[in-house]
Amino acid sequence: MSLDQKVAIVTGASRGIGLAIAKALGKSGATVVLSSRKQEVLDPIAEELQQAGISCAAMACNVGKVDELPGFVNQVVERFGGIDVLVNNAGTSLAFGPVLDTEMWAYDKTFDVNLKGPYELSRLVHPVMKSRGGGSIINIASVEGITPSEGLGVYSMTKAAMIMASKVFAQEWGVDNIRVNAICPGYIKTKLSKTIMENDQIYQALMAKQAVKYEGQPENIADLVNFLASDASKFVTGAVMVADGGLTI
C-alpha cells in the first residue's frame, strides 16, 4: 500500500483520528499536508513528524469557512505540485440535545464544518487530481450517519449527508479516475469521546453492544484510510465502510 510520491491533505490533523491518519499516510511514503484551524498548534506536530522521518507540512485552514479553501488548495499545489489524496476528517458537534432545542447558529456551524466545507474542498481538488490522472478522496463520516443516537440529531444529519455526497462524487468522478469513499467510525478512543468513554454506564453499554470487546483506536481508522488512499483499493469507490467493532450489527 505504498504512497510514494503522493501528496495527501488531511483536515483536522492536529489530534485524534486525523493525526493518526497523517502518521499512517506519511509512513507509507506520502507527503502529508496537515491542516487544522491554528498554525501554532500544527507547527510543533509537523516538526515532530518530520523528526520521525515523515515528509509533511503544516498549513492552517478552517474548513468551516469556504472562502479560505481556494487559497489553501492553491498553496498546496504551488508548494508540492499537485494533490493525490484528500481526507476530509475535520468535524464538529456543537448541537447536542433534541432538534427542537437546537439553535440555528449551532445547526449552521455544524453543517458548515461537517458538510459544506468537505463538499467545496472536494470540488476544488477535483481538477487538480484529474490533471494528475486521478486520485482518492476519503470522507470520515460516522455510524451516527447510519443510526442516530439520542442528542446527536444534527450531527447525525451531517454525517448521513456526507455518506450520500461520497456516493454522488464517486458516481460522477469515476470517469476521471477519482475514487471517493466514506468511512463510518464507531466510538474511537479520542479526546472528543473522552466524556463518553469515562462514563462507566455508557461505556459498559457500548461494550455490551460491540461484537469485539475492546476500545477502538485512531490507528484502526488510519489503517483503513491508508488502504483507500493506495492502489490496493483501486477497484473500490462509492463504498461506505463501517469500522465500529460490530456496534451497529
Q: In this structure, what are the phi and psi dihedrals at residue 246, rounded to the nearest 5 degrees?
A: 90, 15
- What does the alpha-carbon distance between residue 58 and residue 60 come to, in Å, rounded to a whole number? 7
- What does the alpha-carbon distance between residue 128 and residue 7 come to, in Å, rounded to a whole number? 11
In 3D space, the residue among 62, 64, 88, 76 whose CA is nearest the CA of residue 181 turns out to be 88
**DSSP-derived secondary structure letter, 97:** B
- Strand, helix or coil for residue 66: helix
In 3D space, the residue among 68, 63, 169, 72 whose CA is nearest the CA of residue 109 turns out to be 63
155 catalytic per annotation: yes
Of the candidates 107, 155, 203, 214, the residue annotated as catalytic is: 155
Whole-angstrom CA distances from 193 to 122, 216, 238, 246 are 27, 11, 28, 18
Dihedral-angle region of residue 180 (phi above 0 means left; psi in -120 to 50 means alpha; beta otherwise): beta
Catalytic machinery residues: 155
